[in-house]
C-alpha cells in the first residue's frame, strides 16, 4: 500500500469512499480540518459464526481508514455475540474472538495493509467495569423498551419469544462509542438504527454525538441474495479450500444477462475491485477469465462497467464469470489459508471456538445397575474421564451456525 494521505480533503474522500451513507460528516471534517488530528474510528464485530468472504468488504474500508492516517480500533464484541440469542456460548466465545482477530489480521496482511497501527479490543475487557455497567443503567432509564427493540431489529436475531438481552445489546453498542473514545463508528447499513439510537441518546448522558459511516450490504450467492447461516452454499468461508470454492460458485445463482440479481458481479464490485485498487492504485481494475479457444479464448476487462456490460450483452456467460470469480476468490484466500496452516495458535482458536458437532448418541438402553463388582465389569470410569465426557457433551450442545 502506498503512503499515508495527509491532505484533510483527500483524507475525507478516502474515509467516505464507496460508502452508502455518512451521518454527521461535519464531525469528521472538524477533526481533520480544524483540530488537525487523526480521526479515531472503530469497527465492531460480534464473533458468532465463522467469518466468510463477506468479511473482505469492511476490510477494504479499514484499509482506507489506515491509509487516511486514522487511529483504527477493531472491537471484538464477545459479549454482544453472547447477548445475541447466545450465538456464542461463554465457553467458546473467547476462542471465537481470538479467531476473528486472527482472520482480520490475516486478511489485512494479505491485501498489503500495514496493521501495526491497528488496535484490537475485546469487549468483555472493559464492558464489565463499574463505569460501563452504570452507563447501561443510566441509558436504560432514558431509552424506551420500544426504541431499544426497534434499534436492534436488523441486527439482533428475531425470535418468537425475544429475550431481554436483545434490548441490552443496542444500548451497549451505543456506549461502546464513548468507552472506546472514538469520533466515528463504522459498520454495515444494517447497523443504522443502532447508530441513530447512539446519536440521539449519548448526549443525554453528557457524551458527545459521533459520526457514522455505513457500508452497503453485499448480497450472497443465492437467489434473493441473503447470506444465510443455515445454507452453507450461500457463503464461502475464509478458509474454504479451492475445490469447495469452485463447487459453491458453481451453484451460485447467476442467470445469463441478468446483472441485477447477481451475487458474483456484486462480489467483483465490492471486494475484488477495491482490493485490486488497494494493491495496484486508484482506478486500476483487472478481471481475467481463462476460456477455451473454441469459446473465444482468454478475456480480460479493465473496468467493472465493461465487465457488467459484457455480461448484460451475453458476450460473457455465467460459466465464464463463475470461472473468473472462482480464480479470484482462490487467489484472495490462498494467503489466509497459508497463514492458518502455519500457525498452531490460529488452528487452536478455530478448533476450540468451533468444536465439531458431536453426533447425538441414541439414548442407550437402560441397563440394570448391577454395581461394578460383577463378572465382566470394568469398574467405574475414572473421575477425569467423567469430567471429559461432560465437557464433550457441553460442546456438542453448542449450536453451530
Binding residue (CB under 6 A) for ligand STL from 71, 78, 176, 320: 176
> Is 201 among the residues that bind ligand STL (CB under 6 A)?
no
Binding residue (CB under 6 A) for ligand STL from 14, 15, 39, 46: 46
Piece of 38-46, 108-116, 282-290, 365-373 that binds ligand STL (CB under 6 A): 38-46
Coil/strand/helix, residue 281: coil
Piece of 10-18, 42-50, 335-343, 371-379 that binds ligand STL (CB under 6 A): 42-50
> Is 101 among the residues that bind ligand STL (CB under 6 A)?
no
CA distance linking residue 49 with residue 125, whole number of Å: 21
CA distance linking residue 330 with residue 249, whole number of Å: 11
- Rounded to a whole number of angstroms, the minimum distance from the CB of residue 46 to ligand STL is 4
Angle CA 16–283–58, to nearest 5: 40
Yes or no: say if 198 and 204 are a contact pair by the CB < 8 Å rule: no
Lookup result for grid cell 453451530: 400
Residue among 152 and 355 whose Cβ is closer to ligand STL: 152
> Is 318 among the residues that bind ligand STL (CB under 6 A)?
no
CA distance linking residue 244 with residue 330, whole number of Å: 10
Yes or no: say if 9 and 121 are a contact pair by the CB < 8 Å rule: no
Residue among 158 and 392 whose Cβ is closer to ligand STL: 158
Size of the residue set binding ligand STL (CB under 6 A): 11
- Rounded to a whole number of angstroms, the minimum distance from the CB of residue 172 to ligand STL is 7
Piece of 39-47, 127-135, 324-332, 376-384 that binds ligand STL (CB under 6 A): 39-47
> Is 252 among the residues that bind ligand STL (CB under 6 A)?
no
CA distance linking residue 33 with residue 211, whole number of Å: 15
> Is 173 among the residues that bind ligand STL (CB under 6 A)?
yes
Residue 122 parent element (H or E): strand 119-122
- Rounded to a whole number of angstroms, the minimum distance from the CB of residue 188 to ligand STL is 5
> Is 171 among the residues that bind ligand STL (CB under 6 A)?
no
Contacts of 33 (CB under 8 A, 6+ apart): 8
Residues in the chain: 401
CA distance linking residue 215 with residue 58, whole number of Å: 7
Candidates 280, 273, 332, 331; CA nearest to 305 is 273
- 3-state helix, strand, coil split of the chain in percent (to 5) is 50, 10, 40
Contacts of 367 (CB under 8 A, 6+ apart): none
Residue among 126 and 304 whose Cβ is closer to ligand STL: 126
> Is 211 among the residues that bind ligand STL (CB under 6 A)?
no
- Rounded to a whole number of angstroms, the minimum distance from the CB of residue 287 to ligand STL is 27
Residues 63-92 within binding reach of ligand STL (CB under 6 A): 75, 77, 80
- Rounded to a whole number of angstroms, the minimum distance from the CB of residue 63 to ligand STL is 18
Yes or no: say if 17 and 64 are a contact pair by the CB < 8 Å rule: yes
Site mask for ligand STL (CB under 6 A), range 265-284, x = bound: --------------------
- In 196-335 the beta strands, taken as DSSP E runs, fall at 211-215, 287-289, 299-301
Piece of 29-37, 41-49, 237-245, 393-401 that binds ligand STL (CB under 6 A): 41-49
Footprint of ligand STL (CB under 6 A): 44-46, 48, 75, 77, 80, 173, 176, 187-188
Amino acid at each position: 500500500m502506498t503512503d499515508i494521505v495527509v491532505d484533510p480533503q483527500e483524507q475525507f474522500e478516502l474515509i467516505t469512499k464507496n460508502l452508502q451513507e455518512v451521518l454527521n460528516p461535519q464531525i469528521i471534517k472538524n477533526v481533520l480540518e480544524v483540530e488537525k488530528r487523526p480521526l479515531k474510528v472503530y469497527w465492531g464485530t460480534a464473533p458468532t459464526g465463522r467469518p466468510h468472504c463477506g468479511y473482505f468488504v469492511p476490510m477494504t474500508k479499514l484499509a482506507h481508514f489506515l491509509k487516511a492516517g486514522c487511529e483504527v480500533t477493531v472491537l471484538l464484541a464477545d459479549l454482544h455475540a453472547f447477548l445475541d440469542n447466545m450465538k456464542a456460548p461463554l465457553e467458546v466465545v473467547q476462542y471465537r474472538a481470538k479467531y476473528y482477530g486472527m482472520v482480520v489480521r490475516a486478511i489485512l496482511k494479505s491485501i498489503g495493509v500495514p496493521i501495526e497501527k491497528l488496535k484490537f479490543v475485546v469487549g468483555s475487557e472493559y464492558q464489565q467495569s463499574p463505569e460501563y455497567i452504570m452507563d447501561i443503567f443510566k441509558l436504560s432509564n432514558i431509552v424506551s423498551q420500544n426504541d431499544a427493540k426497534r434499534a436492534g431489529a436488523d441486527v439482533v436475531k428475531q425470535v418468537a419469544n425475544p429475550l431481554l438481552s436483545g434490548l441490552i445489546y443496542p444500548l451497549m453498542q451505543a456506549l461502546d462509542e464513548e468507552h472506546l473514545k472514538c469520533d466515528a463508528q463504522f459498520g454495515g447499513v444494517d447497523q443504522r438504527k443502532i447508530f441513530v439510537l447512539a446519536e440521539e441518546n449519548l448526549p443525554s448522558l453528557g457524551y458527545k454525538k459521533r459520526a457514522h459511516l455505513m457500508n452497503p450490504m453485499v448480497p450472497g450467492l443465492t437467489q434473493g441474495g441473503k447470506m444465510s447461516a443455515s445454507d452453507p452454499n450461500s457463503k464461502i468461508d475464509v478458509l474454504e479450500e479451492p475445490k469447495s470454492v469452485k463447487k459453491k460458485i458453481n451453484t451460485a445463482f447467476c442467470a445469463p444477462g441478468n446483472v441485477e440479481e447477481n451475487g458474483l458481479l456484486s462480489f467483483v464490485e465490492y471486494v475484488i475491485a477495491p482490493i485490486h485498487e488497494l494493491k495496484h492504485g486508484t482506478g486500476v481494475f483487472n478481471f481475467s477469465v481463462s476460456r477455451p479457444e473454441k469459446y473465444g479464448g482468454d478475456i480480460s476487462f479493465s473496468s467493472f462497467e465493461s465487465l457488467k456490460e459484457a455480461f448484460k450483452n451475453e458476450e460473457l456467460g455465467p460459466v465464464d464469470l463463475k470461472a473468473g470469480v472462482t480464480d479470484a476468490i482462490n487467489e484472495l484466500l490462498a494467503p489466509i489459508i497459508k497463514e492458518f496452516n502455519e500457525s498452531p495458535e490460529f488452528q487452536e482458536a478455530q478448533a476450540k471456538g468451533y468444536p465439531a458437532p458431536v453426533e447425538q448418541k441414541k439414548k442407550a438402553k437402560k441397563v440394570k445397575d448391577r454395581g461394578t463388582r460383577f463378572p465382566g465389569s470394568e469398574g467405574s470410569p475414572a473421575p477425569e474421564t467423567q469430567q471429559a465426557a461432560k465437557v464433550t457433551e457441553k460442546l456438542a450442545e453448542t449450536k453451530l451456525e
